[in-house]
Amino acid sequence: MSAHQYQDQSQNQTPSSVADPDARGVVIIGGGQAGLQAAASLRSEGFTGKVTIVAEEPGLPYQRPPLSKDYLKARLTDGADGTDGSGGTSAAPLPLRGAAFFADHAITLLTGTAATSVDRQAKTVTLADGTVLGYDSLVFATGARNRELPTPGIDLPGIHGLRTLEDAEQLGAALETAQNVVVVGAGFIGLEFATAALARGCQVTVLEFAPRPMGRALTPLLGDWFAGAHRDLGIDLRLNEGIASFEAGDDGRVAFAVSTTGDRYPADLVVAGVGVQPNDQLAAEAGLETANGIVVDANLRTADPDIYAIGDCAAFPCVHAGGPFRLESVQNATDHARHVAGVILGADAPYAELPWFWSTQGPFRLQMANIVRADDETVMVGDPDPAHPKFSVFCFRDGILAAVESVNMPSDHLSARKILAAGLEITREEALSEGFSLRAAYKERTQPAAV
């Protein structure tokens, strides 16, 4: 397939400085959240050289988070525009930027073509269609791909992953007729899909081999709360129970999911949400270090001074996690991108943005400010009644507020982000005192009382 080009650099509407034939500029591999933000930030920070994005997926780059949320919901209501206040709109994907953005900012977007090799000596990238692009700076923003289960029967029709628009389109169509849905993995995407399928009237079973849902990211306190809350909704959440095999029916499609306890669950639709693997092969082939991601320093630079990695594919020194880390979030992708644009333009400060995340699972709107640690002391504050929850989990490290998880408390979340990003110290004693609110605490510390 030949590449579709949204903006041809040779057109004379580009700024004159871009036309300099000697300038190779910045090549960004990957047209996702990170790649697009990097291009946008380069321009907004005043970069006048060439900017080229190489994007393997076809079409205008889109936002992934709605794929497991509004996008599936919109399909549920016959593609009608959501007027239920859920924030849903149409069955069309939400673009990261409109088509005009690329021409307006002299950004060349090559879609439907993958970068297949990088020659670090010649400083060139070769694409699947044979195009060779020279670079001064190269940014890997290649994201991640779904981890594949080694389970027998995994290739049966009716078993899906959920990462791309294509995946979501297939799932949206499958949900039209599905009755018994099995979700493998109680991670964020698995549970978002599970609640969407439940709302569609499906029977939903979730298999999770760990003792808690979302165990990698949540405090045990909140993980346990979610286990109960999802069961109350009507999801059959099976913990400490992994997938063993899939069995086909007479039609050759998946019919049963068999778990590690030997239980057989009827399944006409299966979604495997067991995590992702970074797309770091191309970087590895170019001789760059990879270790669960492309290894970069605090400036998000690889050992090659002209090559960077950002977003889901980057293993970076995370000050908040206290070591090398890889994060999969919109925040991480966009903040990395803004940072790398600065570095390419000459800035030299370590990346230190506060991680945050959100996930909408049916009636539960989860938000997290900072990364929780296993030995954090956790206290639930607010109303945890699963019928109308509205609470936060405060996480204390050495007696100081270090992370906050919130359910249906977006103002707590936003205030916590501001407090933690500013490095303001809130003691356990203050946070648990009568009448305390994160919002008031932030205001108090940042807006001096009127004289």
Ligand X SMILES: Cc1cc2nc3c(=O)[nH]c(=O)nc-3n(C[C@H](O)[C@H](O)[C@H](O)COP(=O)(O)OP(=O)(O)OC[C@H]3O[C@@H](n4cnc5c(N)ncnc54)[C@H](O)[C@@H]3O)c2cc1C
Count of other CB atoms within 10 angstroms of residue 144: 19
Contact 136, 23 (CB under 8 A): yes
CA angle 431, 432, 438 (to 5 degrees): 35
Q: Residue written as tokens 């490290």?
A: 397
Cβ proximity to other proteins, 214 vs 368, nearer residue: 368
94 binds, among other proteins, ligand X, none (CB under 5 to 8 A by kind): other proteins
Stretch near ligand X under the rule CB under 6 A, chosen from 63-71, 150-158, 227-235, 238-246? 63-71
Stretch that binds other proteins, among 45-53, 89-97, 155-163, 171-179 (CB under 8 A): 89-97
If one asks whether residue 100 binds other proteins (CB under 8 A), the answer comes out as yes
Name the one range near ligand X by CB under 6 A: 224-232, 326-334, 343-351, 441-449. Answer: 326-334
Q: Is 328 in the site for ligand X (CB under 6 A)?
A: yes
Residues 270-299 touching ligand X, rule: CB under 6 A, are 279, 282
Among 26, 34, 196, 197, binds ligand X (CB under 6 A): 34
Closer residue to ligand X (CB): 145 or 390: 145
**Which two three-digit tokens encode residue 276?**
């992702």
Quick one: 125 or 229, whose CB is closer to other proteins? Answer: 229
Taking CB positions, which residue lies at the least distance from ligand X?
Answer: 32
Pick one of 114, 239, 380, 400: the residue that binds ligand X (CB under 6 A): 114
Strand 203-207 relative to strand 236-238: parallel, antiparallel, unpaired?
A: parallel
Among positions 102-131, residues that touch other proteins (CB under 8 A) are 104
Task: For residue 175, state whether it binds ligand X (rule: CB under 6 A).
Answer: no
**How remote is the C-alpha of 337 from its chain's centroid?**
14
Minimum CB distance to other proteins, residue 412 (Å): 9
> Residues 40, 43, 50, 65: which binds ligand X (CB under 6 A)?
65
Q: Pairing state of beta strands 243-248 and 203-207? A: unpaired
Residue 65 as a binder of other proteins (CB under 8 A): the answer is: yes
Interface positions with other proteins (CB under 8 A): 63, 65-66, 69-70, 81, 83, 85, 87-90, 94-101, 104, 330, 334, 358, 360, 365, 367, 409-411, 413-415, 439
Interface positions with ligand X (CB under 6 A): 29-35, 54-57, 64-65, 67-68, 114-115, 141-144, 162-163, 189, 279, 282, 311-312, 328-331, 333, 357-359
